[in-house]
Amino acid sequence: MLIRKDVEIRLNNRNLKYYSNILNKKLKINDIIVIDILLVSKGSHVLVEVECDCCGNKKEMLYKTYNKYTQNGSELYFCTKCVKDKKTKYTNNEKYGVNVPLQNKKVFEKFLKTNMERYGVLYPLQNQEILEKRNKTNLILYGTKNVSCNVDVREKQNLTRIKNCVLKTNHKFINYDKDSNEITLLCENGHEYKTNVVNIYNRIKYNVNVCTICNPIGHYFSDVETKLLEFIKENYDGEIIENSRNIINPYELDIYLPELKLAFEFNGVYWHNELYKDKNYHLMKTESCLEKGIQLIHIWEDKWNYKQDIVKSMILNKLVKTPNKIFARKTQIKEINDNILVRNFLETNHLQGFVGSSVKLGLFYENELVSLMTIGKKRNLMKSKSQEGEYELLRFCTKLNINVIGGASKLFKYFLKNYSFTEITTYADRSHSQGNLYETLGFEFVSKTPPNYYYVVDGVRKHRFGFRKDVLIKEGYDVNTTEHEIMLKRKIYRIYDSGSLKFIKLP
């Protein structure tokens, strides 16, 4: 908003006539007038003092620029620090009732409908012509089909991030080592120290001295980990043990609930990648807990950031605090052919999101889908084909914060009754499951799979399938190097999970 309503203007040959008419009196060039800001031309270059309607930050800016940012004063003014998060969210909530337009069901359905009409697919990049056009453009501009694969682009992005990070410290920049990602700075006390972007942001965030010599320990706690702990405390009244090394000594457990024999571990995708944790680290902690009769739930940073509602619903279920319960006998089974409905339900209610399937079974309560099970042809590696009658149970989930008692059994019995099979396979992710559900459904435990790995790209774990060597070679990388060597050169690192439990159901 504007702070001062009156402004001083020096007249010149371009604005003399305008203000003479406005004030209805004779004026001369170089006269200085004081006038109400509402009478000033919207395109005026006069400086005005403004205040951010979000954080209260004050600054001077051109009146022309102020009008551009606020639609001629009809909207709130946000400074550059607030405009990205606050104004965008404010505008979206005003228009759509959500922070992001595609979170609105009507907008999302319209988005999918438009894509189907224009391109014949739900998402533009599923159209082969568009995908080829994008790849061709990227090859011309960056020499690779995937922009993020271009070393120069990634280094430029990284340097920009480092520059912005160093500016926040007010310390003198000395050097940046690309190989180790270490930044060397000089603090106000004359200490030359080495640090990195993550450490700097964490220390700034928690008001801790950035210099690792002035403050070598750097006491601060992960904001996300704190929020996770707060959520558990809000929904659980029993004993909670924090950051203990006495349970699976010498390793630490972030959160432990002794009455439920349940533990939670928060895994940041930066500090838990292959540079800092070996491939068996998460599996080791999972099995160390199992030896003590404890189930360890791994909460991954990217899932908390982007699928927090699903994570919270899962936690409530583990705490036996799911707020809503429906008995399966009160629901109706339907086979679903609407892929949009299935996609939306899985993306909203399942941690792993959507995957294609041939059989989609839903439980409906009062005409609303409350539980979904998808089954498809058995997925095989190395391009081998599944045999006739071989299936895989791909997804099962219920609507957030609802427990459909007996829902999985009802859906699975329907499949067994109406479909012939020779074998049904399924997997339980050991990061948050012990496979008890599948044993209830009549599956037999077969084996444990080793930890699977992902690649961390822009703070999100991406499945390794998109970074196979044949894909990388097509993008121009050296055929004589391995997939792992290529990714290490790009500074994209692996991160390992806890593996899976494999189950099989026979006729």
pLDDT tens, N- to C-terminus, the chain (507 residues): 777 777 788 888 878 888 888 788 888 888 888 888 777 778 788 788 888 777 777 888 888 888 877 777 667 777 766 666 566 777 788 888 888 888 888 888 898 899 899 988 888 888 888 888 888 888 888 777 777 667 677 677 777 777 777 777 888 888 888 776 788 999 888 889 888 777 777 677 656 678 878 776 444 445 678 889 999 999 999 999 988 888 998 888 999 999 999 999 999 888 899 988 889 999 999 999 999 999 999 999 999 988 999 999 999 999 999 999 999 999 999 999 999 999 999 999 999 999 999 999 999 999 999 999 999 998 765 455 667 889 999 999 999 999 999 999 999 999 999 999 999 999 999 999 999 999 999 999 999 999 999 999 888 899 988 899 998 888 888 889 999 999 998 889 999 999 999 999 999
Which residue in 432, 448, 451 sits closest to 496, CA to CA? 451
Local structure of 79: helix, strand or coil: coil
Token pair in block for residue 366: 């009062």
The angle that helices 308-318 and 339-349 make with each other, rounded to 10 degrees, is: 70
- The label of the residue with tokens 């050169």 reads 489
Tell me, rounded to whole angstroms, the distance of Cα 396 from its chain centroid: 22
| Predicted local distance difference test score (pLDDT) of residue 157 | 74
The string of DSSP letters for 325-336 reads EEEGGGSEEEE-
Residue 361: name the closest of 407, 427, 404, 420 by CA: 407
298 within 8 A of 265, measured Cβ to Cβ: yes
CATH superfamily of 324-505: Gcn5-related N-acetyltransferase (GNAT) (3.40.630.30)
Cα atoms found within 13 Å of the Cα of residue 494, Cβ hemisphere only: 21
Instruction: In whole angstroms, give the CA distance from residue 501 to residue 211.
Output: 45
The residues pairing with 61 across neighbouring beta strands, listed in sequence order, are 48
Amino acid, single-letter form, for residue 4: R
How far is the C-alpha of 14 from the C-alpha of 281, rounded, in Å? 72
- Local structure of residue 378 (DSSP, 8 states): P
**Residue 18 φ then ψ, to 5°:** -60, -50
- Cis before 124? omega within 30: no
The answer to whether 407 and 398 have CB atoms below 8 angstroms apart is yes
> Which residues neighbour 488 within 8 Å (Cβ) at sequence distance 6 or greater?
none
CA distance 348 to 344: 6
CA neighbor of 209 nearest in space, from 188, 229, 230, 183 = 188
Report angle CA 314, 315, 320 to the nearest 5 degrees.
95
- Are 96 and 104 in contact, with CB atoms under 8 Å apart? yes
pLDDT the model gives residue 206: 58
| Beta strands 172-177; 295-300: pairing state | unpaired
Tell me the two tokens of residue 360: 């989609």
* Amino acid, single-letter form, for residue 244: S
Partner residues linked to 334 by β-bridges: 362
Model pLDDT, residue 323: 94
What single-letter amino acid sits at 263?
Answer: A
Please enumerate in sequence order all residues whose Cβ is within 8 A of that of 125, keeping only pairs 6 or more positions apart, or say none. Answer: 131, 134
Which CATH architecture group holds 223-318?
3-Layer(aba) Sandwich (3.40)
Asked, colleague to colleague, whether 223-318 and 324-505 share their fold, the answer is no
According to the model, what pLDDT value does residue 220 have? 47
Torsion of CA 20, 26, 30, 31, to 10 degrees: -90
Question: 322 by DSSP, 3-state: which?
Answer: coil
Closest residue by Cα to residue 210 from 224, 195, 221:
195
Task: Provide the residue type at 49 as one letter.
Answer: E
Q: Which residues on neighbouring strands pair with residue 396, listed in sequence order?
A: 373
User: How far is C-alpha 275 from the geometric centre of its chain's CA atoms?
Assistant: 22
pLDDT score for 382: 44
What are phi and psi for residue 504, nearest 5 degrees? Answer: -135, 140
Distance in angstroms (rounded) separating the CA atoms of residues 57 and 238: 44
Domain boundaries along the sequence of the chain: 6-93, 104-142, 149-205, 223-318, 324-505
Quick one: pLDDT at residue 219?
44
Are the C-beta atoms of residues 58 and 51 closer than 8 Å to each other?
yes
CA–CA distance, 335 with 362 (Å, rounded to integer): 6
pTM of the model: 0.60
CB 251 within 8 A of CB 257: no
